[in-house]
Each structure stands twice: as structure tokens, then as C-alpha cells.
């Protein structure tokens, strides 16, 4: 295993969504030579203007990079980028590292890592938490699975993108940890949504309830952030409800495979499925609270613009 990745080293980034673009920017700011690719050309052109290079394809990005980072929506997207036509595996250098920051199947991750190892490359699964603001501020929490020596080698990259770095275990452990993270978020979001609905039914201002809860033992990141988005009606997506549904289904699949008892997660999956089935999968995951309002007989909000709502008096 070679020494730690040096500042100025060539790295690649594929998947320039809200999170990925911000992470790539922080790598550029940290002094790395960043080559990018994305299905949407506009994001590539934007990053090129900020100092990145256009790789043209996953294979092109991999051939130009010592480390290749991915931030993609789902398991099939990662498989396509790595192993599909003009996939990254065709261009990976010997001893190169793939860091997958996507949230995908832990089982598939173990398989992908084995396939890359056969080609002389390494893989770390490092899903992240912290949302768009954490990505922009370089303050993400990185949950890392893979070989300890490879994690240490890539630490300068993690430090450019995040604030907290936890090597959870072997390949796939990072993805398993992210499932636990999403389970905790969904369970908390459901409880907060119920609390706000109860307050509304009792004629109490839920904004005041949130303010009181933030000062006590119920305070949390979810109450601070998603709770505010729900009450303010600012539901343009930071993290889309349809992606949370995908993530919580991954958690349920892991639960079925291991026999874990997960009733809260199962209910969360049903609630997010209902939200998405009513045409709101593109809203922020905080929009889950709208279902609790509706099912409580609270008058539904009316749209006032993309991703925002107004509450009726």
C-alpha cells in the first residue's frame, strides 16, 4: 500500500448532484486535481469553470485519477458507472481506490469490492450524512467500510469533505451504518410529525412547541432542521423523499436478511411510500409531516411555488 494521498494528486468524481457537486468543490479548494463526469452536462461545465477537468466518461475519469469518488442515487447506478459500457473499471490504474459515497446495498457493495480487487483496485464504501449544508461546509459525517490501510491512505480526501470519520468495519459496514442512520432519522421524523399534528389539533402553535422541545431532552438535528422546514413550508428538496424511501427500503432488506426486529422502520417505509405515491416524492423528506397533518384532519397546505407550501388559516 502506498503513502497517503498527497495534496495536488489526481482524483475523480462522478455524480454531481446537490451533494456530489459540493463535495467535488471542496476537493478542488483543498488543492486536488479533480476530473469529473455527470450525466447532466451542465454540472460538469459548472465545475470545469471552477477548476475541474472534464473526464468525458467514467472510464475517462478513472484513467485520470489515483482515487475515484462516486456519489450516485442507487445501486444500479453505481454498478453501471463501475462496470457498464465505458465503465470506470476499464480505466482504473493498478492500486487505485474507489470511494463510493452513495447510499446503496451493503451486499452489492461487498460484491463490487471483490470485482475491483480482482483488477488490482481497492474499494471503500463511505456513505455520508449531514445534508447539503454539511456537504457545502465540508462538515459531513463519513461512515467508512473497507481495509484500514486504504482508509488511512485516503484520509486527506475525507478531511477535505467531512468533519467526522468513523471506520466502521470491513467492506459493506459503511453502508450498514448509513442504514442505521436513516432509520434513526425516519423514526425521529415520524415522532416529530405526530407531535406537531397533536399540537395543531389542540390549538397550540407547533412553532412554539418546537421552540420548547429544542430546549429540552427532545432536541435533535431532525427537530432543528427537518422540523423547521416542515413548519415553515420550505420543502424544496435538500434530500428528496423518494431517496429516503429508497434508503429505508435498503435498511428493511438488511433487517429481513438478518432477522432484526424493525417495526418502526417498517412503518416509516409505508409512510414514505404513501407520500411518494401521492406525488410528493420530489419534495424534501420533511414533507412526511404533511401526511400526519392530513390524516389528523388538519387542512392540507396549498402550494405557493416549487417546493414550498402555505398553511391555510
pLDDT at 311 over 60: no
What integer pLDDT is reported at residue 152 of this predicted model?
97
pLDDT of residue 114: 98
Q: Please state which CATH number belongs to domain 10-171.
A: 3.40.50.720
Mean pLDDT, residues 155-167: 97
So what's the pLDDT on residue 198?
98
| Cβ neighbours, 10 Å, residue 163 | 14
What is the percent of the chain with per-residue pLDDT over 70, rounded to a whole number?
A: 95
What is the per-residue pLDDT for 313?
33
Domain ranges in the chain are 10-171, 177-310
pLDDT at 241 over 90: yes
pLDDT at 308 over 60: no
Give residue-wise pLDDT tens across range 50-90.
999 999 999 999 999 999 999 999 999 999 999 999 999 99
From 178, 201, 208, 228, the catalytic residue: 178
**Active-site annotation holds for 7:** no
Task: Compute the residue count for the chain.
Answer: 313
In tens, the pLDDT along 264-300 reads 999 999 999 999 999 999 999 999 999 999 999 998 5
pLDDT for residue 299? 84
Question: Can you name the CATH fold of 177-310?
Answer: 1.10.1040
pLDDT category at 3 given cuts 50, 70, 90 is: confident
Residue ranges in the chain assigned as alpha helix (H): 18-29, 41-49, 58-63, 75-83, 106-118, 131-137, 148-153, 155-161, 173-201, 206-214, 221-224, 226-232, 241-258, 263-275, 288-295
Amino acid at each position: 500500500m502506498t503513502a497517503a494521498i498527497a495534496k495536488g494528486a489526481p482524483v475523480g468524481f462522478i455524480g454531481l448532484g446537490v451533494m456530489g457537486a459540493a463535495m467535488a468543490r471542496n476537493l478542488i479548494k483543498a488543492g486536488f486535481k479533480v476530473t469529473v463526469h455527470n450525466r447532466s452536462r451542465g454540472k460538469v461545465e459548472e465545475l470545469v469553470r471552477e477548476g475541474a477537468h472534464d473526464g468525458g466518461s467514467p472510464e475517462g475519469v478513472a484513467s485520470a485519477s489515483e482515487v475515484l469518488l462516486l456519489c450516485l442515487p442507487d445501486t444500479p447506478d453505481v454498478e453501471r458507472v463501475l462496470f457498464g459500457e465505458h465503465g470506470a473499471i476499464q480505466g482504473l490504474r493498478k492500486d487505485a481506490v474507489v470511494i463510493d459515497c452513495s447510499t446503496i446495498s451493503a451486499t452489492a457493495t461487498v460484491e463490487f469490492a471483490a470485482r475491483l480487487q480482482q483488477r488490482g483496485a481497492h474499494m471503500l464504501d463511505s456513505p455520508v450524512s449531514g445534508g447539503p449544508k454539511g456537504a457545502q461546509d465540508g462538515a459531513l459525517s463519513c461512515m467508512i467500510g473497507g481495509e484500514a490501510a486504504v482508509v488511512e491512505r485516503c484520509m486527506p480526501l475525507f478531511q477535505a469533505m467531512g468533519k467526522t470519520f468513523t471506520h466502521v468495519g470491513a467492506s459493506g459496514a459503511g453502508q450498514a451504518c448509513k442504514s442505521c442512520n436513516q432509520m434513526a432519522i425516519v423514526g425521529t421524523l415520524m415522532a416529530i410529525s405526530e407531535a406537531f399534528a397533536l399540537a395543531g389539533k389542540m390549538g397550540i402553535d407547533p412553532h412554539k412547541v418546537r421552540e420548547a422541545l429544542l430546549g429540552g431532552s427532545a432536541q435533535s438535528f431532525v427537530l432543528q432542521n427537518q422540523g423547521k422546514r416542515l413548519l415553515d413550508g420550505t420543502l424544496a428538496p435538500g434530500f428528496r423523499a423518494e431517496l429516503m424511501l429508497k434508503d429505508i427500503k435498503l435498511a428493511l432488506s438488511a433487517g429481513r436478511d438478518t432477522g432484526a426486529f424493525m417495526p418502526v422502520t417498517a412503518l416509516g417505509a409505508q409512510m414514505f411510500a404513501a407520500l411518494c405515491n401521492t406525488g410528493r416524492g420530489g419534495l424534501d423528506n420533511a414533507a412526511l409531516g404533511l401526511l400526519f397533518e392530513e390524516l389528523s384532519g388538519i387542512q392540507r397546505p396549498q402550494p405557493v411555488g416549487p417546493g414550498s407550501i402555505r398553511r391555510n388559516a
